[in-house]
Structure 1
Amino acid sequence: MKQQLTTMLALQDEINTVVNADWRAQGFAWYRAIWVESAELLDHYGWKWWKKQQPEMDQVKLELVDIWHFGLSLELQKGDAGHVAAEMDAKLSDLALAPGDFRENLEAFTLATLQAKAFDLPGFAQLMCDVEMDFDELYRRYVGKNVLNRFRQDHGYQTGTYIKNWQGREDNEHLAEVCDSLDAGAADFKDQVYQALQARYPAGQAA
């Protein structure tokens, strides 16, 4: 787990630096992004008592991965990836979790995040437990989405030239297919994902 954490933290630092080279000094409100993503997450899980709703579990997990991006950014404010990974690994290893009420746990996680303006790592781990998402799945989904974010930046996301729909499908759908076809345990997993996305992207559309 520690090595996977180190890899994810390094990737998060890298993508943040692509967006803003001095991101650590900017004081971005990562906690606020987590709050907004949590509301979107609850919408996908379902909360309306006046209509029949079933949790959209794939979307729920995608939203958890988005929250993880912001959580890693908050954690990286504490130091370098290796040091932070060791601290996170220790906290996660000490947890004894059992599935609970996802909605109530999400509200508790969001409240803790807003009060401390920090990432509630144990609370996030509880949410993963509630939706039966293990750490390996989090790693696979995170690395895939991180690579997609980098791919978007490299192909004109900030300038508005990036094409999000390819062959009638969104890039997220292509990403899911690519990740399912590759070995997430491979040392060059992220590079394989990027190359596979590049092979599918419309020719001549690099930024």
Structure 2
Amino acid sequence: MMKQQLQTMLALQDEINTLVNDNWRAQNFAWYRAIWVESAELLDHYGWKWWKKQEPDMDQVKLELVDIWHFGLSLELQQGSPQQVAADMLAELGAGQRKAGDFRSNLEAFTLNTLASKQFDLVGFAQLLADAELTFDELYQRYVGKNVLNRFRQDNGYKDGSYVKNWAGREDNEHLAEIATQLDTTASDYSAQIYRALQARYSETAPA
């Protein structure tokens, strides 16, 4: 199941990158820099200020981890096709049992490794998943939903500014979250089901 989920996510990331830029692999985009910036945003949601009371916003932490995963998959795809890189990624993700540790320190180590190598520190990311108690199944569900929403936005005018993010007084992210709870994440056409449901709801609620 984990291998199938990983291949699905890699294929979806390849598709959305190609939608944005047909020749994205040759562009040498600074994916590692995007990971670095997302990591800083992630730390803000977790909390790091000793001079004020802060409680980790774990839902936002998980959302930021999913965003980092998008960029990490893109870096991995620079090495080959989804089928080619999935096996190596699976081996690193499954290497050893990881226990939750010091999230801030592990995030800093992950970020330093990413900046130093300009590659995706997959082992470090797996540790962050353990720290945040984000299972691979939940990562898959959250990633596929956000990936499909990104593609849906592109298909409906996001690039030229004509896309409307608020439908019937609610952001598209909220509609996505509601739709995702109604679908079977194990279905082979899970991503296609999400897209169809988004399209149907957008057609019904978006302003003409």
Instruction: Tell me which interval the TM-score lies in, with the shorter structure as reference length.
Output: over 0.9
Q: CA deviation at 1:95?
A: 2.6
Aligned residue runs from structure 1 range 43-192, under 5 A = 43-192=44-193
Deviations 1:113-152 (A, max 9, x none): 0000000001000000001011000000000000000000
Deviations 1:21-42 (A, max 9, x none): 0000001000000000001111
Deviations 1:147-178 (A, max 9, x none): 00000000000000011111111111111111
For residue 181 of structure 2, give the secondary structure of its aligned residue in structure 1: helix
Alignment size in residue pairs: 206
The CA RMSD over aligned residues, in Å, is 1.3
Aligned to 2:25: 24
Report which stretch shifted further, 116-125 or 50-59.
50-59
**Which segments of structure 1 move beyond 6 Å, counting only runs of 4 or more?**
none
Looking at structure 1, the residues matched to 59 and 164 of structure 2 have their Cα atoms a distance apart, in angstroms, of 23
Q: Which amino acid aligns with 2:198?
A: L
- Whether the 8 Å CA contact 2:98–2:130 is kept in 1: the answer is yes
Structure 2 residue runs without a partner (length 5+): none
TM-score (norm 1): 0.96
Aligned to 2:12: 11
Looking at structure 2, the residues matched to 158 and 151 of structure 1 have their Cα atoms a distance apart, in angstroms, of 11
Q: Which amino acid aligns with 1:34?
A: I
- Whether the 8 Å CA contact 1:95–1:122 is kept in 2: the answer is no
Structure 1 residue runs without a partner (length 5+): none
TM-score (norm 2): 0.96
Aligned to 1:194: 195
Looking at structure 1, the residues matched to 123 and 205 of structure 2 have their Cα atoms a distance apart, in angstroms, of 45
Q: Which amino acid aligns with 2:57?
A: E
Q: Which amino acid aligns with 1:117?
A: K
Aligned to 1:37: 38
Q: Which amino acid aligns with 1:88?
A: M
Q: CA deviation at 1:205?
A: 6.3
For residue 163 of structure 2, give the secondary structure of its aligned residue in structure 1: coil
Percent identity at matched positions? 72
Looking at structure 1, the residues matched to 48 and 11 of structure 2 have their Cα atoms a distance apart, in angstroms, of 35
Report which stretch shifted further, 92-101 or 56-65.
92-101
